[in-house]
Each structure stands twice: as C-alpha cells, then as structure tokens.
Structure 1
Amino acid sequence: MRLFKKVLKITFSIVLLVFIGLYIMFYQFTKPKSDEVVMDELTTELVRPKLTKERFKNFEYRMVSVEKDSSLPTIVFVHGTIGSAVDFKSYLTDSLLLEKANMIAYDRVGYNYKDTHNVQESISFEAAMLDSIIGDRTNVILVGYSYGGPIALATKKTVKSIVLLAPAVYSKVEPMPSMINVYKWKLTRWLVPPIWKQASREKISHQEDLKKFEDHWGQTNNKVISIHGDADWIVPYSNSLFLEKQFSKDQFKLVTINNVSHELVWSNDTLIKQELLKLLN
C-alpha cells in the first residue's frame, strides 16, 4: 500500500510538472509579441517595415506597414481570433507582392502587445476602424482571415477587391468549442491566458453579432473572393457556400482548397499569393 501511494504521488508530481511546463510554453507562444520581436520577424534584406502606434477613437493600436510607392495598390490584412499582424509575415515579406503593392497589417483592439483594452465584440466597430485605416486610399485590396473576414466584408469603402480567407460570416454554422467553457466557468477562468480571454469574449459574442449582417453581405458593391478549405472544422466551409448564394457570379468567386482546414493562411500561402497577384496584374 505504501509503495502504491508513493508511485501515485510520483506520478501526480510528474503529470503536474508536465502540465505546468506545457501551460508556460502555450502562454509564451501565444501571447502578443513585443515591438522589437515583431520588427525582427518582419525585417529582411528586402523589407524594412515601419511599425507605428495609431489611434482610433480612444484606442491605441499597433500597425505594421510596407509602403514604398503611393501609386501602387495597397493590401490591408485583417487578422482573426486570436491573431496579429505577424500572422501575415509570409505575405508582408514576399518579394513578388512587394514589387506590386504596398502592404499594411495591424493588431486589432484587445490583441496589441500589453493592450489594456478588451476586444470590442463588434463587427461595426472593427469595420469602422478598418475604414479609418484605409482612409482616402482608393486602390485597395482587403484580406480578411477568419473573424477578419466579416470585418473586411462590412467595409463601407469602395475597394478594388475583398479577399476572404476562411471567413466566419454565418451564425448558424458558427461552432462553439467545448474548451470555451474553461473561460465561462469562474472556477477555471483563471487558467485562461489573457490573450485567450480576449478571444473567448469575441468568440462568444460573434454568433449573435453576425445576425445583424449575415443576410446583407450581398449588398456590398465590391468584388469578393472567398478562399476556403473544405475540411475546415473551426470555420466550416459552408460559410463560403452561404456567401456564394448572396452574390452574382460576376461579383463573387469561390476558391475551394480540398482537404485543407483552417490553417490555410499559412499552409496554402502560395495559392493565396497567386490569387493576390492576379488582382494586382
């Protein structure tokens, strides 16, 4: 019996240490990166990005821009939940894209480094912030990934094109992961890293917020391309099929990637870049 208790105690200690180690790794890997780390990741021999702190209403946010020629089109990237400007590193540092376009990516409110503000849980707010970033630019391509999809689609600006990457635009197929309960339960909420608390807030409210927009996506005058993996279980492919029904064939294009899930922004960046280059040529 003593031996059993000793083995049990050792086993529990090992499991606890492994859990703590994995938690620390997860926390460090997913937390927002400092300005210095962001610049280090995005700076190459060809790219010297500019990192600035901008303001929208009473909120400060971080923006990364690579703007060389005002006569070129501008690609503006909008990240999902969770996410940051660094999600688009492969695009911001791509030599072919850099030849043909200026590029901008930014951290949405709640996802900035040491951000003291909560996510705003509002597509309307996010779209207004995006419109302020576009400003008086007219030759713009918007790229919205995941939750960034409906934000880009809700713009009131007239742009060259809107490119959606696995867009979460339809409330009826919006999944609610069981892990979200860790945040919902007060007894376990303390275990959730700060950035994931922000993501949980946004995820919980997203389904209801979408209902204000989802029947009106087709009212935009902008051309829309949706690129989606048919094996996506985080933002189901049916989101893009729902969108397709709201547009005419000459305004909407659906690019289906077979057997690909929600990581397409990284795993299929070559295909996505090709679609962007088609718009730029």
Structure 2
Amino acid sequence: MQNRWSDQKAQRIFQAKKIPLGIHDTLIGNRHLHYAITGSDSLPALVFIHGSPGSWMNYSRYMWDSLMLKKFRMISIDRPGFGHSDFGKAVHLQEQTALILPVLKSLKNGQPMYLCGHSMGGPVVVDLASKEPGLFKKVIIVAGALDINQEAKETWRHIMNVRPLYWLLPGAFAPSNTELLYLKKDLVQLQLSFDKVKSDILFIHGDEDTWVSIKNIGYGQQKMINAGNIQADTIFGADHMIPWKNQEKFREILLSLH
C-alpha cells in the first residue's frame, strides 16, 4: 500500500533485465529527494513525475524498455511525501517544485530535457517549467489537473484528514489525501505561473477519463499564452490510467518526442 519498492528490490529487478539502474538520494534543506536514472548520460533526458499516490517505480517498465533506452536517459522522481522522499510528509505543490528543480538543473548535459507529469504530476510540471523556462524543451501533461473549477468538491477528504481518522488511510493514500486537499488552494496560486511557461507543450488525455476532466486541455491552452507550440493528443477509449492501460500508445508518443 506504500506504492514503492525498496532500493534493493529495484536493483534486483533491473539487474535481472541487465539494465544499469542508478538510485540517488539527495538532501535539500531538511528534505530528502529520492530518484532513479537509467540510460546513457549523453542522451536527451526524459523526466517522469508521478501522480498521487505513486513513486518513481510507476515508470519502471519504460525505464527498462530497449527502444526507450536508445533515445533517452530516463529520470523518475519520488515526489516529496512519496516513495523514499520523506514518505508520509506531504507538502504543497510549490514546495515540491522548489525541491525537485535543483536536482533537474544538476542533471543538465547539454541535451534537450523533456518533462512528463501524470495527473497530480501535471500541475507540478507546469510549475517547474514556469520557474526555469529555458530548461525544458517540451512539457508533457498526461491527464493533468490544472483547472480548479474542474476539481470535485470531495468533502470527505477534509473529514479523513483529521486525526485519528487520518491514520485509517492505508499507506500512500494518507499523504495523497493531504496533498489533494492542498491542491485546491495550490491550483489558485498556479494561475500566476501559466504565462511564465515558454516550453513546447503536449497534452495527452483520455476521452473516458472520469477522474480528471479532459476540459483541462482547453483551460491549459488558454492560460499558457507564452508557451511554444501547444499540441493535444486525445486517446479515444482511454481513462485516467494512460501510462499503464495504454502503454503501447503512450510509449509511441514518448518515442516520437525526439
């Protein structure tokens, strides 16, 4: 229920596939940020930012994929509060980007960097791109939640965030509940970031997504007025879980980035 692998398990799985895996843990202020890397450091970087809940290992199937490895150095991050990045200690969206950005800047290698965020990772990648406009060649927003007006009220989250009810939420669902409560206010603050995004943008969304409305695409297109080329790819018949239920199509889109 913690939605994570131990570092030892991850190393065993990748070693069995004969894929070198780098696992890193860095301290930024008083917070740990944990992430994994595969692929040659001379290649363009593809950064995965998971949703809520989640961890870096959600993208492991792409990180050991032979075709993906020919094109990208892949970096997958445990967002703060998840995986091994101080598990259980959720923080606001803007605090997350402040912790993630120094790591991504340290990984620059003179090649393009692509930034891919799913669901809750969507607003995270938008905020990252607004903070460092020249760092990312393209931002890929997969079923991303950007529009506060499209968010469900979910009053039950407030009830479950109160102790002792909070402790009834299993594993990673506890910090997930907290950060999704934060998101209601964080999306309001994100309004100040949209016009600072200058990267190219690619929206990927399923037309049968009942968790995050596909209307978020139109909202993002309207708000990111200084972005480069903005494209949208609708996957018909897909729901919210595109990276796992529509793996072949998603991989095809990623391979076409570079």
Same fold (TM over 0.5): yes
Q: How many pairs are equivalent?
A: 250
Instruction: Tell me how far apart the structure 2 counterparts of residues 215 and 267 of structure 1 sit (CA, whole Å).
Output: 33
> Quick check: 1:103 aligned with 2:63?
no
Cα 1:272–1:31, aligned 2, differ >3 Å: closer, same or farther?
closer
Find the residue that maps to 1:82 and give its secondary structure: coil
CA RMSD of aligned residues (A): 2.3
Contact 1:90 1:269 in 2 (8 A): no
> Quick check: 1:270 aligned with 2:236?
no
Code of the residue aligned with 2:249 in structure 1: it is L
Residue pairs, 1:69-218, within 5 angstroms: 69-70=41-42, 72-113=43-84, 115=86, 118-121=89-92, 123-136=93-106, 137=108, 138=110, 139-155=112-128, 156-157=131-132, 158=134, 159-177=136-154, 180=157, 183-184=160-161, 186=163, 188-214=165-191, 216-218=193-195
- Structure 1, unaligned runs of 5 or more: 1-26
1:124-176 CA deviation, whole Å, 9 max, x = no partner? 22222232121151520001111111111112222111111111111111124
User: Could you say which residue in structure 1 is the equivalent of 2:17?
Assistant: 45
Contact 2:138 2:201 in 1 (8 A): yes
Contact 1:73 1:100 in 2 (8 A): yes
Find the residue that maps to 1:154 and give its secondary structure: helix
Instruction: Tell me how far apart the structure 2 counterparts of residues 215 and 236 of structure 1 sit (CA, whole Å).
Output: 22
1:72-97 CA deviation, whole Å, 9 max, x = no partner? 10111111110100111121111111
Contact 2:197 2:224 in 1 (8 A): no
- Structure 2, unaligned runs of 5 or more: none
Pair member with larger Rg? 1
| Cα offset, 1:44, TM superposition | 4.4
Instruction: Provide TM-score, normalisation by structure 1.
Output: 0.81
**Higher mean displacement: 178-187 or 57-66:** 178-187
- Percent of residue pairs identical: 23
**Higher mean displacement: 247-256 or 137-146:** 247-256
Find the residue that maps to 2:89 and give its secondary structure: coil
Contact 1:149 1:166 in 2 (8 A): yes
Instruction: Provide TM-score, normalisation by structure 2.
Output: 0.87
Code of the residue aligned with 1:98 in structure 2: it is L
Code of the residue aligned with 2:98 in structure 1: it is A
| Cα offset, 1:42, TM superposition | 3.9
Find the residue that maps to 2:172 and give its secondary structure: helix
Contact 1:74 1:141 in 2 (8 A): yes
Cα 1:228–1:219, aligned 2, differ >3 Å: closer, same or farther?
same
4+ runs deviating over 6 angstroms: none
